[in-house]
Structures are given as C-alpha cells and as structure tokens.
Amino acid sequence: MTPDAARERMVDLLVQRGIRDDRVIRAMSRVARHEFVDQRLQAEAYSDGPLPIGHGQTISQPYIVALMTEALGVRAGGKVLEIGTGSGYQAAVLAEMGVEVVSIEHNDSLASVARRRLRGLGYGAVAVLCGDGNDGWPPEAPYDGVLIAAAVREVPRAPYQQLRQGGRMVLPIGDEEGQELVVIEREADGPREEYMGPCRFVKLLGRHGWAK
C-alpha cells in the first residue's frame, strides 16, 4: 500500500473512533507520518499505535494525537506550546492547521533531528527549543493552548500560568503505569477540568514528572 492510501485508512479509522473536528482530520490526512519514524518502521507508520523513535521515547498513537489536538480547540493563528517534541509529528499536525507552534524537547539529539525534519517537510515555522518543559516557555507566553506529550504526576504550574484566559492545556496525568487524559481550561475564576479517558505516555522528566 502506498503511504497516501495507508494514511487515508488511518484517517478513516480516526473518524470511526469519534474524531469530529474537520481541521484535525484534514491536517492528519496531510502530514506524512512515515517521515517521522525510522526507515525500517515506515510500513507501520499508519497503524494506530505508538512507535519507537530512539532514546527510549515514542511517537504518540495517531488517535491520541487527534484527540489531544481536537481537545485543545485552537484556531488558525493561535499559539500553542508543546512540551515533548519527540519526532515532531504532533507539532507538524498543529502547524498544518495554521497554528503557531513553540515546542520544547529536553533531549538535544531528538530536538535537532525534529528541527531538521520539520524544516525539510515545510514546517520550518515551528520553533523547536531544547530545554526543560516543566517551566513552560515564558518568552512566548501567553499561549492559546499547551499540549504536554509526556506523562506528569501533577499539573505543572508554570505552563498553566502561561495560558491566556480561555486557553486550554491537554495533558496525561497519573503514575508510571497509566494516566488519564485531562483538559484544563483556564477560566477567570480558576481551572476547569475535564477527564477524557485512560492513556499511556512516556514519562516527563523533572519536577512534575519523574527523576532524571
């Protein structure tokens, strides 16, 4: 099967699983996920599962990427902070939707591979930074959305405070065994939380996650 046909099937599956936002569907039918994994994994790039990207990390499952992107609800022209660039795939999906993306990755070799890859695929506007996402990224705040692509034990304060009012943070909260996908909206009188179901992510390292 060609990558295009495989991607079409992946997107059909996302719709079957309940993804409704056309903008997310359109973006995911355009981003070449097979370019974000190793050559020898390219045949599996459009199956609905996570895949290894080296350094013990993974590119997230397409359904989870779709669900988190939909839950963020950010419009074209909005700005999102992603914590955990990994392969750069999630950042590319947001960029494809016309969203301005600032993405932090603490592993410098993953960060430079992702930066080069994104540039090569036409997503050079994504800012990939090397640093600790526990602190968010104050210079570009406020954000319309914050997406944390690694498991945390608790809500990280700094990234929440870098949300503009009405902005949303989507993150997996739990322990090493499993987490719950949570959407937190910053409202005038405080955070409003919504639980979206179980998920399993690699660990965020540092203060709100686990020891390095």
Nearest-approach distance from CB 91 to ligand SAH, in angstroms: 7
Find, among 44, 55, 63, the residue nearest to 85 by Cα: 55
Q: How far is the CB of 187 from ligand SAH (least distance, A)?
A: 26
Residues of the shown chain interacting with ligand SAH in the complex, contacts defined by CB under 6 A: 57-60, 83-84, 86-87, 89-90, 104-107, 110, 132-134, 149-150, 202, 204-206
Q: Find the catalytic residue in 47, 60, 87, 109.
A: 60
Rounded distance, CA 70 to CA 21, Å? 6
Residue 179 CB, nearest approach to ligand SAH (Å): 13
Q: Which is nearer to ligand SAH, 73 or 134 (CB)?
A: 134
Q: In this complex, which beta carbon is closest to ligand SAH, that of residue 39 or of residue 165?
A: 39
CB 56 to ligand SAH: min, Å: 8
When the beta carbons of 180 and 187 are compared against ligand SAH, the nearer one is 180
Q: Is 60 a catalytic residue?
A: yes
Cβ closest to ligand SAH, residue 99 vs residue 202: 202
Catalytic residues: 60
